[in-house]
């Protein structure tokens, strides 16, 4: 499977629709984890972020990590980065009205999200331009382009995988549905 590459701000965002594993089992594991792990609050408002998932905690997550690792290796090669290693991975459960504030992933070279259970109306991920280009781009632009845009929005949908530089600021819109949006986020960095 090839990742689709788009240049924004001019950061790279890779996107793909995937069939990595058993989303039903990943969803079951997410709810089980939520029962036993109090989680943490980092960028989430009203939602749940688990503590880091460790290798061996769940076979389906381990299989997902293996598949994502292959994609990360391809992305890193494409932009001339060295081989990267997984720093951490965690679960997000955003119930109705929950969202994630604008943030980045400090100390991460590449970050990403895989949507386990997501659909229209549950809040899309938005990437923000952070180079102050909006102060220099003419106000009268004939047509918005990757170069002139200040925000890129990607749909939250089951099976979607997005990989992006850890420094790229992003947020997740409020869940306007009546069901939970479940995703798994991760950070990769230099080998230690």
Contact 137/148 with Cβ under 8 angstroms?
Answer: yes
DSSP string, 35-81: HH---B-SSEESSEEPPPPPTTS-HHHHHHHHHHHHHHHHHHHHTTP
Cis, bond preceding 32 (omega within 30 deg of 0): no
Please tell me the distance from the alpha carbon of residue 61 to that of residue 55, in angstroms, as a whole number. Answer: 8
Please tell me the distance from the alpha carbon of residue 22 to that of residue 141, in angstroms, as a whole number. Answer: 45
For residue 149, the number of C-alpha atoms closer than 13 Å in the C-beta half-sphere is: 15
Contact 179/96 with Cβ under 8 angstroms?
Answer: yes
pLDDT digits (tens, 9 = 90+) for 93-150: 999 999 999 999 999 999 999 999 999 999 999 999 888 877 888 888 888 787 788 8
Residue 7's pLDDT band (cuts 50, 70, 90): low
Cα dihedral: 156, 158, 159, 163 (round 10): 20
pLDDT at 88 over 90: yes
Instruction: Report which of residues 167 and 1 the model is more confident about.
Output: 167
Q: Which domains does the chain have, with CATH numbers?
A: 4-190 (2.60.120.620)
Mean pLDDT of 43-47: 92
Contact 122/158 with Cβ under 8 angstroms?
Answer: no
pTM of the model: 0.90
Can you give the pLDDT at residue 34?
97
Closest CA to 119 of 145, 94, 149: 94
């Amino acid at each position: 499977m090839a990742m689709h590459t788009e240049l924004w701000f001019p950061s790279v965002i890779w996107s793909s629709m995937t069939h990595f594993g058993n989303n039903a089992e990943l969803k079951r594991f997410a709810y089980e984890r939520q029962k036993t792990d109090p989680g943490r609050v980092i960028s989430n408002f009203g939602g749940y972020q688990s503590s880091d998932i460790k290798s061996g905690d769940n076979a389906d997550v381990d299989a997902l990590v293996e598949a994502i690792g292959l994609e990360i290796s391809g992305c890193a090669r494409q932009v001339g980065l060295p081989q990267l290693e997984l720093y951490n991975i965690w679960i997000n459960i955003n119930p109705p009205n929950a969202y994630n504030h604008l943030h980045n992933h400090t100390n991460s070279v590449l970050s990403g999200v895989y949507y386990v259970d997501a659909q229209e109306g549950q809040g899309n991920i938005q990437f923000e331009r952070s180079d102050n280009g909006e102060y220099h781009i003419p106000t009268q632009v004939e047509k918005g382009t990757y170069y002139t845009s200040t925000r890129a929005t990607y749909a939250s949908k089951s099976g979607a995988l997005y990989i992006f530089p850890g420094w790229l600021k992003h947020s997740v819109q409020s869940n306007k549905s009546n069901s939970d949006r479940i995703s798994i986020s991760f950070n990769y960095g230099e080998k230690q």
